[in-house]
Amino acid sequence: MRKVWRLSELVERFGGRAIGEADIRQVAPIERAGIAELTFVTHPRYRRELELTKAAAVILNEALHDATALPRIVCANPAAYFARVVALLNPEPTPRPGIDPSAAVHPTATVPTSAHVGAHVCIGADVAIGEHAIIEAGCVIGDGAALGADIHLYPNVTIYHGCDIGARAILHSGVVIGADGFGLAFEDGRWLKIPQIGRVVIGADVEIGANTTVDRGAMDDTVIGEGVKLDNQIQVGHNVRIGAHTAIAACTGIAGSTTVGRQCRIGGAVRIHGHLTIADGTEISATSVITKSIDVAGVYTGFYPFEAHRDWLKNAAHLRHLNELVKKIYELEKRVDHLQRHSGQK
C-alpha cells in the first residue's frame, strides 16, 4: 500500500487542478486536519474554518479557489472528489478467496474460487454467487438465491430463498432480505397467513445499512433499483418498489405496495403509507408521515415541532379543540361583519 500521495498525483488520477504541492497521508475533518492531512470544503459557510485549518491541503470548488493560500485541489464536486481520495488512501483489506472449512455450502451451490466465504456461513441449494463476492462470517443464504459479482455481505446477514442481489451490493450486518411480508386474512376471529411467494430483487450498486429489513413480495417482487442507498434500520414492506439512485436515511419505514421514484431523497424516520406513489426526485424531510401519493417533486414535511415541555402542555392541548376554535373564529368574523354593517362603518 502506498503511504504518501502528492497533490499532483491525485490530480493526475482524479482530475481537477492542483495549486501548490503537498504530501498527503490521510484525510481529516477541516477543524482537526494537520500535517500531511487533506480536507475539503463544499460550501462558502466554511470560509472561517478554511482560514483556520492546519490541513496540509484542501479540496474545494472554483467559487472558493482563492479563499485559502494552502496547497489545494480545485474541482467541480469536492465531496465526490474527496470520496475518491478517501478510498484511495484507505483501501479495504480484501479477505482471502476461498471457503472457510467451517462454512456449510450446499453441493448444488455455485461459488467461484475468487469468492470469500467466511466462517460459519451457510449457503443453500442452487445458490449462485458472483466472482469476487465477499460473504463474511455467519451469513445465511437461502436456497436459490443469486448474489452478483463483487458483492460484500458483512457478518450475520440473512438472505431468504430465491432473492436476487445485484453486483457490487454492500449489505451490512443484521440485514434481512426476503422475510415474509405482512400478509394476513381475518376469519372467525383469527388471522390466516397468506403465503408470500414473491421475491426481493435488488439492483447493482445498492448499499443497505445494518439491521435493515426488506420483505419479499406477496405475489410480485419487492424491487430495489440500481444505486439505491438505504441506511440502517429501514423497513421496506412487501411489493414496495424503490427507483434507482434514491437515498433513504435511517429508521424510515415504507409500507407495502408503495412505489418510490428515482433519485428521491428521504430523511430519517420517515413513515410512508402503503399503496402510494412518490414522484421521481421528491425530497421528504426527516420524521414526516406521508399518507398520500406525491405527484409533483418538491420538498415535503410534516411533524410537530418540539418545545419546552411546559409550553407543549399548554399548546398541544388546543389541538383537540382546533375544530371548535376554527368555528369560533368564523362565527366571530360573521359577528364583526354584522357589527360593521350596522355601525355604517364598512
Q: Which residues are catalytic?
A: 238
Q: Which is nearer to a copy of itself, 129 or 249 (CB)?
A: 249
Q: Which is nearer to a copy of itself, 66 or 76 (CB)?
A: 76
CB of 5 within 8 A of CB of 88? Answer: yes
29 binds a copy of itself (CB under 8 A): yes
For residue 178, give the DSSP letter.
Answer: E
Per-residue mark of binding to a copy of itself, 80-99 (x: CB under 8 A):
x-xxx-xx--x-xx------
CB of 177 to a copy of itself, least distance (A): 9
CB of 214 to a copy of itself, least distance (A): 9
Instruction: Determine the residue type at 172.
Output: H
CB of 218 within 8 A of CB of 199? Answer: no
Out of 8, 233, 259, 293, the residue judged to bind a copy of itself by CB under 8 A: 233
Between CA 31 and CA 40 the distance in angstroms is 11
Report which of 210, 200, 137, 130 is spatially closest to residue 170, judged by C-alpha positions: 210
Q: Which is nearer to a copy of itself, 43 or 66 (CB)?
A: 43
Q: Which is nearer to a copy of itself, 132 or 271 (CB)?
A: 271
CB of 259 to a copy of itself, least distance (A): 14
Q: Which is nearer to a copy of itself, 108 or 315 (CB)?
A: 315
Site for a copy of itself in 281-300 (CB under 8 A): 283-291, 298-300
Site for a copy of itself in 44-73 (CB under 8 A): none
100 binds a copy of itself (CB under 8 A): yes
Site for a copy of itself in 316-335 (CB under 8 A): 316-323, 325-326, 328-329, 332-333, 335
Between CA 325 and CA 340 the distance in angstroms is 22
Site for a copy of itself in 133-152 (CB under 8 A): 136-138, 140, 142-143
Q: What are phi and psi of 223, to 5 degrees?
A: -130, 125
Between CA 162 and CA 101 the distance in angstroms is 25
Between CA 248 and CA 267 the distance in angstroms is 6
Between CA 277 and CA 294 the distance in angstroms is 6
8 binds a copy of itself (CB under 8 A): no
Between CA 79 and CA 287 the distance in angstroms is 26
